[in-house]
Chains A and B, each alone.
Chain A
Amino acid sequence: MAENCSEQERRPIDYTSQMTMEDPLWWLSRIANKLRTVWLARTYPFVSFGKRTWTRYSLHVTRSGARYISIGEGVGFSRDVVLDVCAGPDTHSPVLILEDGCGLQRRVVISARNRIHIMRNAIFGPSVLMIDHGGDVEGRADSAVCGPQAGGGTIRIEEECWIGFGATIVCKHGDLVIGRHSVVGANSVVTRSIPPYSVVSGDPARIVKQYDFSKGKWVLGCIRPLATAERKLPVVAASLLAES
């Protein structure tokens, strides 16, 4: 997935063959998708729900979670996407933000408790898992706890990223940022921030390749290293400090 092909020719993706609905059976699912999209956009309390956003009937999203989801224009959801969002009663800003032109492939699971921000034109391969909270060291499952009490951190996927098949992005502490135009390889596990214009793969994810602006090409190896694991105070403790 992370090999070079700059000198080789590229083929434009031909979506027209996908768009043809030549099998009459396909109209059933197409109508179900359309109805589900209209129903979601009209009746669910999304922070925003952009035009040309296309969901599938199997999109998993709850009405209570929709109050914390902001979806931009032209976002594509493939089937069986799970948006598992819940937030504490004091939360007023969206917890999950999908900006314009994002694409979520099949079976992407996004589990947001604090904040997951996906910026413009980021694309996700199938079976990606993104989770911004996790059980603590004692193994206490806190996924049922909503809001900042859940611990964990925030995730930001910057513009034009490509998250490959089956990648897992977990942020238990602090902020995890995947920099602009980065590529996360198949089945890699990301737990630390990734600098912009990098290709990472493996478990745990390591930098395979980065774009060298002085040379103007992609080079193997690491120019800008991964961020050292910075641990912030847990959100609850930080807010207590701010109060005192």
Chain B
Amino acid sequence: MHRSIHQTSAGFEDHEGFFSRILTKLYSLWVVATYPFAGKGRNLSLHYASEISRSLAPYFRLGNRVAIGKHTWFLSWSKLDIEGDREVKIVIEDDCRIGPRCTISAGNFIHFERDVVLESDVLVMDHSHAYEDVNTPISLQGTTPGGIIRIGEGCRIGRRAAILCSNKGEVVLGANCIVASGAVVTRSFPANSLLAGNPARAAQKSSPEGLRSISSGVSQLTPQISR
């Protein structure tokens, strides 16, 4: 399934695609060579319009063959008041693919295990704005402490889904979960669940083989995820 995605997106059929591929390659080389990541694998593909700040790179660990799409925005709040605070906050393991326009905002810890696929417009955020003080604008109230998000091996997150953990605690998706597009996940789910809705509920529980066939169907619908 992964190979099929790479093959369809690796076509040289269009000159525009060719230039963006060159830019993406150059940008990936630049980032890998100059950014002080906590760990980085080989064959990274970071789209030239994706945003990883250099000062936040020490909080990232990227695995092999990770692909990151256009306009995907990583951010993390560094605790500048703690000297030498270098704990890793975002871990992306091997063969993860993060689609275009995703927002990944780590205050504490976000972990993508192997083969996780995020389609476009996904939000993964382990904290949120505090709004409880009614006399202060929400934009000035800072963030909630938040929790930890862990997305299991082989999960697929559909378009425009949101995975949120605004309170203390953990949001853990087990292996091979599928999150439907537009779902809002705010609590943990076991492996092989199919999640949909706002807030998300487990729509069905299926064997890993059945879900894998669904997910390969999804991958055919969105072949250009890594571009």
Question: In the complex, A106→B71 CA distance in Å?
Answer: 9
Which residues 182-220 of B have a CB within 8 angstroms of A? Answer: 182-184, 186, 198-199
Selected contact of A1 from candidates B138, B143, B160, B164, CB within 8 Å = B164
Verify if B166 is at the interface (C-beta below 8 Å from A): yes
Check B134–A197 contact: CB distance below 8 A.
Answer: yes
Whether A181 lies near B162 (C-beta < 8 A) is no
Q: From DSSP, what is the main secondary structure of chain A's interface residues?
A: loop
Contact flags A172-212 to B (C-beta < 8 A → 1, else 0): 00000000010101111000000001010111000000010
Other-chain contact of A166, B30, B79, B121, B143 (Cβ < 8 Å): B121
Residue of B nearest to A121 (CB): B137
Q: Is the CB of A13 within 8 A of B143?
A: yes
Closest residue to A161 on the B side, CB-wise? B138
Contact across chains for A3 and B166 when beta carbons are under 8 A apart: yes
Interface residue count for B (Cβ, 8 Å)?
49
Q: Which of A13, A18, A166, A199 contacts B142 (CB 8 A)?
A: A13
Q: Which of A4, A187, A218 contacts B198 (CB 8 A)?
A: A187
A123 interfacial contact with B, CB 8 Å: yes
Instruction: State A187–B167 Cα separation when bound (angstroms).
Output: 18
Known pairs A101-B139, A162-B129, A202-B199; A8 contacts B56 (CB<8 A): no
Tell me if B162 and A165 are in contact (CB < 8 A): yes
Interface residues on A, range: 35 or more
Taking the complex as formed, is B176 at the interface, i.e. its CB lies under 8 A from any CB of chain A?
A: no
Contact across chains for A187 and B184 when beta carbons are under 8 A apart: yes
Judging by beta carbons under 8 Å apart, are B121 and A127 in contact? yes
**Chain A residue at minimal CB-CB distance from B136:** A160
> Of all chain B residues, which has the CB nearest A105?
B103
A9 interfacial contact with B, CB 8 Å: yes
Q: Are B139 and A121 in contact (CB under 8 A)?
A: yes
1/0 per residue A56-95: CB within 8 Å of B? Answer: 0000000000000000000000011000000000000000
Q: Among the listed A120, A126, A188, which residue makes an inter-chain contact with B103, where contact means beta carbons less than 8 Å apart?
A: A126
Chain B residues whose CB sits within 8 angstroms of the CB of A121 once the complex forms: 137-140
Residues of B within 8 A of A17 (CB): 53, 55-56, 77-78, 80
Confirm or deny: B145 has a beta carbon within 8 angstroms of a beta carbon on chain A.
yes
With contacts A106-B71, A121-B137, A123-B139 taken as known, whether A5 is within 8 angstroms of B145 at the C-beta atoms is yes
Report chain B residues within 8 Å CB of A186. Answer: 123, 162, 164, 184, 198
- Please determine whether B162 and A187 come into contact, CB atoms closer than 8 angstroms: yes
Known A121-B137, A181-B131, A211-B134; contact A14-B121, beta-carbon cutoff 8 A:
no
Instruction: Tell me the smallest distance from the CB of A206 to a CB of chain B, in Å.
Output: 10
> Residue B168 at the A interface, CB < 8 A?
yes
Q: Which of A106, A165, A187, A188 contacts B73 (CB 8 A)?
A: A106
17 more contacts with CB within 8 A, not counting A160-B138, A165-B162, A187-B162, are A1-B184, A3-B167, A5-B167, A10-B142, A12-B142, A13-B143, A14-B80, A22-B53, A79-B71, A121-B138, A123-B129, A123-B138, A127-B101, A127-B123, A166-B123, A166-B160, A181-B131
